[in-house]
Amino acid sequence: MALFDKFKGKKKGDNGEDINVTEISDEVLENEEEDGADNEEEAFEIELSDENPELEDEDLTDDEDGKPAKKGFFEKLKKGLSKTRANINDKIVTLIKSNRKLDDDFWEELEEILIYADVGVNTSLNLVSNIQKKAKKQKLYDSSEVMDLIKEEVTNLFNNYDNSINLTSSPTIILVVGVNGAGKTTSIAKMAHRYKKENKKVILAAGDTFRAAAIDQLQVWASRVGVELIKHQEGSDPGAVVFDAISAAKARKADILIIDTAGRLQNKTNLMKEIGKVRNIIERELPGAPHEVLLVVDATTGQNAISQARIFKEATSVSGIILTKLDGTAKGGIVLAVAEELEIPVKLIGIGEGMEDLRDFSPTDFIEALFG
């Protein structure tokens, strides 16, 4: 069956066709295995988590200005985070109900809940220590009073960051990087879909030339979303693709150029070198660009997501994180660990496979959906 025909099911596209992200990716991932590339270093072997649920049909309708309808918008976020909510909020509520007093056991158990939800050891210990100090200062003795402090401290974790995507330049160049399977290509499709609906002229660049299937996958998305794709053949130089894409973006007065990159090469060193090369070409061709370097990390990989991010951060400066698949994990506490331990703002979060399921990361909404 042609790749294009495999779309079905969940969400109507611009032309009324259905869009389903999973099926295309499965085929592409199978093709990838056939392609070989089996000698990458271990840190870059990412198994797609089988924690990912079969997602149900969703009922998101759009209003006239193309933004997802307000009704249900927050509910969808809450639903996307429901596993994490059950793992963090519900457990804290139970702890509060069973431990009336703020004794050592209470603080230890709170630490355990956070660590278990992948908030990260350091972040969890710091959070609890700060909450404990404040509780003491405010002379709180009853555990029921502690929830507000938890929300306050979690909010503080995000205070130093600007979570918005910088779209002020024209064209804005967004370079998207991350290991294989993290969700780069589908996140790019979701971004393109959204910006197009906001009446922006979007161009995509198929910078993952390592696999023919990667180019095909992005082509399918570009056609579905209705944006132009600049691509070369499999095995061609990604730098040349990027060069052409920037020329096209300038010539066509595009608002946004989003560049896909390989997540899988022969090894990590090659991958980092390639990202560096692509970045140099962007800088040379458009001073001030790239305006965003977004690192896509899969929330279901837990603490591994943090180590991957560190490696990318060393190789190239990263301006923001796209944290995908939060719907597929109970350990969405990773959002807090990313903020605290990487010092890179989370800018977008993936909470499902539908086209509207890539959201701006709003700390307030996130905390409300988690603890509200």
Query: Using CB under 5 A as the criterion, which residues of the chain lie in contact with Mg ion when the complex forms?
Result: 184-185
Residue (150 or 204) nearer to Mg ion, CB: 204
For Mg ion, which is the closer residue by CB, 185 or 329?
185
CB of 321 to ligand GTP, least distance (A): 13
Of 119 and 322, which has the nearer Cβ to Mg ion?
322
Question: Angle at the Cα of 67 (from 8 to 367), degrees rounded to 5?
Answer: 100
Size of the site for ligand GTP (CB under 6 A): 27
Report the residue number, 32 or 111, with the smaller CB distance to ligand GTP: 32
Q: C-alpha angle with apex 90: 85 to 94, nearest 5 degrees?
A: 165
Ranges within 167-186 binding ligand GTP (CB under 6 A)? 178, 180-186
Taking CB under 6 A as the criterion, which residues in 284-343 touch ligand GTP? Answer: 296, 324-325, 327-328
- Residue 180 DSSP one-character state: T
Least distance (Å) between residue 187 CB and ligand GTP: 6
Question: Quick count: other Cβ atoms within 10 Å of Cβ 30?
Answer: 11
Q: Per this entry, what is the length of the chain? A: 372
DSSP one-letter code for 56: P
Q: Which is nearer to ligand GTP, 83 or 291 (CB)?
A: 83
Phi/psi at 8 (nearest 5 deg)? Answer: -165, 165
Q: Which of 10, 91, 231, 264 binds ligand GTP (CB under 6 A)?
A: 264
* Residue 136: Cβ-neighbour burial (10 angstroms; 0-12, 13-18, 19+): exposed
275 binds, among Mg ion, ligand GTP, none (CB under 5 to 8 A by kind): none
Strand order in the sheet with 256-261: 228-230, 202-207, 256-261, 172-177, 292-298, 320-324, 346-350, 358-360
Angle subtended at Cα 326 by Cα 273 and Cα 203, rounded to the nearest 5 degrees:
50
274 touches ligand GTP (CB under 6 A):
no
DSSP 67: S
**How far apart are the C-alpha atoms of 221 and 223, rounded to whole Å?**
5
In whole angstroms, give the CA distance from residue 340 to residue 126: 10
Q: Which does 264 bind (CB under 5 to 8 A by kind): ligand GTP, Mg ion, none?
A: ligand GTP
Q: Residue 208 or 255: which CB sits closer to Mg ion?
A: 208
Q: What is the pairing mode between strands 18-19 and 11-12? A: antiparallel
Q: How far apart are CA 79 and CA 62, in angstroms?
A: 18
Residue 132 partner contact from ligand GTP, Mg ion, none using kind-dependent CB cut-offs of 5 to 8 Å:
none
- Residue 125 beta carbon to ligand GTP: minimum distance, rounded to whole angstroms: 29
In the bound state with ligand GTP, the residue whose beta carbon lies nearer, of 327 and 341, is 327
Cα(first)–Cα(last) distance of the chain, in Å?
A: 46
Q: Which of 7, 10, 25, 68 binds ligand GTP (CB under 6 A)?
A: 25
Cβ-based burial of 179 (10 A; exposed 0-12, middle 13-18, buried ≥19)? buried
The residue whose Cβ lies closest to ligand GTP is 350
- Shortest distance (Å) from residue 270 CB to ligand GTP: 14
Q: Token pair of 54, please?
A: 């079969």
Site string for ligand GTP, 49-88 (x = CB under 6 A): ---x------------------------------------
Note the residues at the interface with ligand GTP (CB under 6 A). Answer: 21-22, 25, 32, 52, 178, 180-186, 208, 214, 263-264, 296, 324-325, 327-328, 350-353, 357
